[in-house]
Amino acid sequence: MDPARARSDRATIFGLNAESYDRWRPACPDEAVDWLVPPGASVVADVGAGTGKLTGALLERGLRVEAVEPDVRMLDVLRRVHPRARTHNAGAEEIPLGDTSVDAVLAADAWHWFPFEQAVAQTRRVLRPGGWLGLVWSMAAPIEPWEKELAAVDPSYAPPPEEGADDEGPFPAEETETATFRWVWRTTPGDWCSYLETLSVFVLMPARERGERLRRAHALVSGACRAAGSATAPVHHQAVCVRWRPGCP
């Protein structure tokens, strides 16, 4: 299969397990959400909104949220869970909002699936003057040896970049800010495995390999729980955030 087709398959696989995705995917930490939302904002677009993991946090802050999601299966869950959001069945390459209509375009764990040039053009179009694009990715940031083994169970895992590492990024440096927010997810062995099963690489994985990797993950988290004398184990994470203020085209 060619890389573009494989990437497309992974990008559209989440709707097969939309209910599980909504239940088991973690929410973005509050500190990261606050950093992503411009001061004084009233209307924001959540693009690639999925089932609304970020949408809900934005609504809690009193914002009007335009939730844009191309998979109707994911959007159906978002509509049920967050009925106050305004929903649009569309992708980032054609955001169905008016010119200069939002204070921010936001995306959680989704920007890497979008066609970059089209998404950037649409972001420029819908942003009000002074608005920005805010992106966040939540990822494991293992500290303990068992956490590093656990992270390796996911074949798509890549270690987070070290703070201060040179990374030009896709946007001009003078228009871009970054921040990292560390947090801890306390999880049971079963909950962690349920989370893994929502990842695209696990959904597409052969059943035998998936079962082996899930058993390994369950054993690792169970061992950490026993060592701590607790029903849950702490898995260290970080939310890596980007704000881009577009300059002149």
For the chain, what is the domain count? Answer: 1
At residue 6, does pLDDT exceed 80? no
At residue 8, does pLDDT exceed 60? no
Domain with residue 101: its CATH number is 3.40.50.150
- Cα 118-139-201 angle, rounded to 5 deg: 70
Q: How confident is the model at residue 76 (pLDDT cuts 50, 70, 90)?
A: very high
Residue 50 lies in a domain: yes
Res 99: pLDDT: 98
Give this prediction's pTM.
0.90
At residue 206, does pLDDT exceed 60? yes
Tokens of 198: 């929502």
Residue 38 lies in a domain: yes
Residue 20 lies in a domain: yes
- Residue 44 is part of which domain span? 3-140+159-183+236-244
Residue 35 lies in a domain: yes
Q: How confident is the model at residue 145 (pLDDT cuts 50, 70, 90)?
A: very high
Give tens-digit pLDDT for 85-134: 999 999 999 999 999 999 999 999 999 999 999 999 999 999 999 999 99
Residue 216 lies in a domain: no
